[in-house]
Amino acid sequence: MSSPIPLPGSNRQHPTNSEYLGQPLPDESIQVTVVLKRNVPAPHLAEWAAKPLDYHQFTEHNGATENSIAAVEAFAAEHHLAVAEINAAARTVILRGRAADLSRAFAVDLQMRKIGESLLRTREGEIQIPAALAHSVVAVLGLDERPAAASYHAVQPRAAGSVSYTPRQLTEIYNFPASTGKNQTIALIELGGGYKNADLKHYWSKLGLPNVSVSAISVGGAHNAPTGDAGGPDGEVVLDIEVAGAVAPGARLAVYFAPNTDAGFLAAINAAIHDRSRKPSVISISWGMAEDNWTAQAMDAFNSAFHDAALLGISVCVATGDNGSTDGESDGKNHADFPASSPWVLACGGTSLLASNGKIQSETVWNDGTQGGATGGGVSSHFTQPSYQSGCNIAPPTGTTNTTGRGLPDISAVADPATGYTVLVDGTEMVVGGTSAVAPLWAGLIARMNEELGKNLGWFHPALYGTVAQHKALNDITSGTNGGFSAVQNWDACTGLGSPNGKAILDALRIATSK
């Protein structure tokens, strides 16, 4: 193999406020994911006509080449690493080996660090790869096992006079079409916690629904593991399931459980995209973190996977975060949340909603202050402004070399826990909010619209920002702020184009897709 060179975008620092506890045991088995480039370059945003490929067409042009896979295999053999799995369609090669061998192979400083109450392996510096692999490798993930993302949900204690809605009530308030998502599969990505079938059965019965089809899929050794903590990861998992299932009860729900690492998160997304048995038509993701917490190589690898979803006609809905325009960072600057900032996903922001008799009375930007949470939204520092947002007034991100930036969110819906969703978690009825609820709500709406249209919407951003926006098919939110940004007419970095008017969106999409 040729001399090593730094992998662009791979530099990391050990976490601040962490305690060094030594090196990993030399014989500790570690698994890493090598992400490879496409066989041929994927079409650019401006060139993509949103006509989905069949899976054979996709793998022929978008999988990894035999030569790039062979080069990784040769690298593994040279460094005493085993090839655990090859997925040419997802362009991933999983390598397994001793910590000492992997540290030498990629020339990285691996350390054991105490982060809060957890003992985790982290790395510092740039990953080194042979120059011969430089034109093939996008990212190397899994050397670092710090959490890749946090969930975005907030629990509101039940109080006299509190406002809440069941997902079924929201389908009326937001004027959803009468379909149920029949013959659709909604994929839910989860990085911890679990659900109890008894809770789901009770919840469906309370809403007057038959049992919704829910299946758990294990990825990377993770599985459905309820903790009993309704305010923790269980609340996230159950919120996703109960919102998506109640909105689209005719759909099948596939819940992909994966470890909360960059490699685990990507593996779950790829498992859903390339699931040839369940064939999800829409993916909902309620996890994320500020872009500054990600390496550029990881964001590029995830973005490439979301591009795959678009090429295959799969919609991806992602929460924008619950910490306002700073996204929870303490430097006083505005930050966009990833993966919501990917131009290939539908970024979902949050509102505060008051409704009566199935009609909206008022809807504003969700902002309950620093302790209560607020919708994420802003301008990406990593991704440039996509062509579909050319008509939006998006200021360049501050403090970066970007002259333009991808604006988020794209759309919104109720997320304020003070006007939140009634759910049942670990046997307890509670009101939950957060942009976590918006992603599965929109996923359910997309499943309904897919059924109505008789085809997958997939990546429909050009139509959303074009025909749908032109027909005023969303409820434009013009009041409120998320800290750094304020709501205005048309698109803004708090609530995007607005909250759903389901039937109006469907009518506009029929016009757009008939052209």
pLDDT digits (tens, 9 = 90+) for 321-378: 999 999 999 888 999 999 999 999 999 999 999 999 999 999 999 999 877 899 999 9
Q: How far apart are CA 65 and CA 85, in angstroms?
A: 15
Of the listed ranges 86-95, 310-319, 394-403, 445-454, the one predicted with least confidence: 394-403
Residues 6+ apart with CB under 8 A from 143: 30, 32, 102, 106, 108, 110, 121, 123, 127
Q: What is the mean pLDDT of residues 121-144?
A: 96
Reading the block at residue 110, the tokens are 């691996």
**Judgement on whether residues 475 and 494 belong to the same structural domain of the protein:** yes
Q: What is the mean pLDDT of residues 411-438?
A: 92
* Residue at 442: amino acid letter: W
Residues 6+ apart with CB under 8 A from 184: 248, 250, 251, 252, 281, 282, 447, 450, 451
**Judgement on whether residues 205 and 77 belong to the same structural domain of the protein:** no
Place of tokens 């009825």: 429
Q: Is the pLDDT of residue 47 over 70?
A: no
Residues 6+ apart with CB under 8 A from 288: 149, 150, 152, 318, 319, 320, 321, 337, 338, 339, 340
**225 band by pLDDT with thresholds 50, 70 and 90:** very high
* Residue at 111: amino acid letter: Q
Q: Is the pLDDT of residue 31 over 80?
A: yes
Total tally of structural domains belonging to the chain: 2
**Active-site annotation holder among 236, 242, 337, 410:** 236
What is the residue-wise DSSP string for 296-341?
HHHHHHHHHHHHHHHHTT-EEEEE--SBGGGTT-SSSS---EETTT
**Judgement on whether residues 161 and 280 belong to the same structural domain of the protein:** yes
**Judgement on whether residues 170 and 73 belong to the same structural domain of the protein:** no
**Active-site annotation holder among 436, 476, 492, 499:** 436
CATH (domain of 213): 3.40.50.200
Closest CA to 220 of 388, 96, 323: 96
**Judgement on whether residues 135 and 183 belong to the same structural domain of the protein:** no
Of the listed ranges 169-173, 186-190, 344-348, 370-374, the one predicted with least confidence: 370-374
Q: What is the mean pLDDT of residues 73-79?
A: 97
**Judgement on whether residues 387 and 502 belong to the same structural domain of the protein:** yes
Catalytic residue flag (residue 73): no
Q: Is the pLDDT of residue 175 over 60?
A: yes
Looking at residue 399, its pLDDT comes to 65
Measured in whole angstroms, the distance separating CA 345 from the mean position of its chain's CA atoms is 8
Of the listed ranges 115-119, 129-133, 490-494, the one predicted with least confidence: 115-119
Looking at residue 1, its pLDDT comes to 57
Domain final position from 109, 141, 173: 141
**51 band by pLDDT with thresholds 50, 70 and 90:** confident
Of the listed ranges 13-17, 68-72, 253-257, 487-491, the one predicted with least confidence: 13-17
Q: How far apart are CA 31 and CA 121, in angstroms?
A: 12
Q: Is the pLDDT of residue 455 over 70?
A: yes
Q: What DSSP character marks residue 62?
A: H
User: What domain range is 411 assigned to?
Assistant: 150-513
Domain final position from 81, 113, 141: 141
**Judgement on whether residues 88 and 158 belong to the same structural domain of the protein:** no
Locate all alpha helices (DSSP H) within 120-248, ordered by sequence.
Answer: 167-173, 197-206, 233-247
With vertex at residue 42, the alpha carbon angle to CA 40 and CA 47, rounded to the nearest 5 degrees, is: 130
**Judgement on whether residues 161 and 245 belong to the same structural domain of the protein:** yes
Catalytic residue flag (residue 240): yes
Q: How far apart are CA 411 and CA 315, in angstroms?
A: 14
**Judgement on whether residues 287 and 343 belong to the same structural domain of the protein:** yes
Q: Find the helix or strand (DSSP H, E) in which 284 lies.
A: strand 282-285
With vertex at residue 271, the alpha carbon angle to CA 270 and CA 273, rounded to the nearest 5 degrees, is: 60
Domain final position from 141, 171, 204: 141
Looking at residue 160, its pLDDT comes to 42
**Active-site annotation holder among 126, 145, 234, 240:** 240
**Judgement on whether residues 335 and 295 belong to the same structural domain of the protein:** yes
Angle of helix 55-62 relative to helix 296-311, nearest 10 degrees, comes to 140
**Judgement on whether residues 503 and 379 belong to the same structural domain of the protein:** yes
Determine what percent of the chain is predicted with pLDDT higher than 90: 83
Catalytic residue flag (residue 380): no
**Judgement on whether residues 247 and 167 belong to the same structural domain of the protein:** yes
Of the listed ranges 186-195, 347-356, 422-431, 450-459, the one predicted with least confidence: 422-431
Q: How far apart are CA 115 and CA 367, in angstroms?
A: 30
